[in-house]
Amino acid sequence: MKKLFLLLIPALAVAMTSCEIDNYDAPNAEVHGYFVDSKDNTTLVGTDIQNGNQITVYEQGFASEGAQTWRITNTGEYTNKMVFAAKYRVAFSNTNFYPYEGDEMWDVKPGKNERNFVVTPFLRVVNPTITVSNGVVTAKFKVEQGKNDPAINLKEVRLFAWSDKWVGNQLKFDVKGSAMESVNGPVDSTKEYTLTINTKDYPDFFPYSMNYYFRIGVQASGSGYGTIRHNYSPLVKLAI
């Protein structure tokens, strides 16, 4: 019995030590907000749910900054409910908007934190309409620059379609032809574009009578800004 007791002592010590090592504080803060257009401080700047805009944050107070990534939804909203209260530096790269000009520091407090980021998109989709008639989806719109910037050109315009709300350049049906147009030139804000998708030509993509999701995407080109992502119109749901 004495021998068994002596064997149990180290085991209990290890168990107690393990409990102490795992006793870390849990995240105690939440962050939430929107990316809004500097033109009106209201319009949301949407993105792709995959390989789109993202927030990179660096917690301060350490010898070296460790990067964390906070995801942004395709509507331009972000939420993270597992954050530690601390002071962070925020940074953005490879986005669909010009370099951020606001305060890059954020003192995140315990509990809920709200912050909107006001940004200037490279391009705007102006007066968009997306309608359907007899199975043909038609998008009409114009394009304008976010700034009067001769270094920014319009690379392409495209009507994206998908089976759920995450539609965009990363999640789309592979429809081409009249659904897209390569421009590769200056932005002409007076020109109205018309793009169409005849869903009857794509029975593999539109096999059922149901709701499908559409967005107009326009992509800028220019040097010095990294990878430029698409700018988007608001999401439209249509019964096909």
Considering only residues 10 and 153, tell me which one the structure prediction assigns the higher pLDDT: 153
Per-residue confidence band for 22, with pLDDT thresholds at 50, 70 and 90: low
DSSP 3-state of 208? coil
Residue 214 reports pLDDT greater than 80: yes
- Same-fold call for 29-119 versus 123-239: yes
Residue 37, amino acid: D
**Residue whose C-alpha is closest to residue 100's, from 204, 225, 230:** 225
Map out the domains of the chain as residue ranges: 29-119, 123-239
Place of tokens 């010009």: 98
| Longest CA span, the chain | 93
| Tokens 């700047």 sit on residue | 45
pLDDT tens digit string along 100-153? 999 999 999 999 999 999 999 999 999 999 999 999 999 999 999 999 999 999
Q: What is the pLDDT of residue 2?
A: 44
CATH code given to domain 123-239: 2.60.40.2060
Q: Is the pLDDT of residue 19 over 60?
A: no
Residue closest to 141 by CA, chosen among 216, 76, 213, 214: 216
pLDDT of 239 strictly over 60: yes
What pLDDT digit, counting tens, does each position of 54-78 carry?
999 999 988 777 889 999 999 999 9
pLDDT tier, 25 (very low <50, low <70, confident <90, very high otherwise): confident
- CATH number for region 29-119: 2.60.40.1120
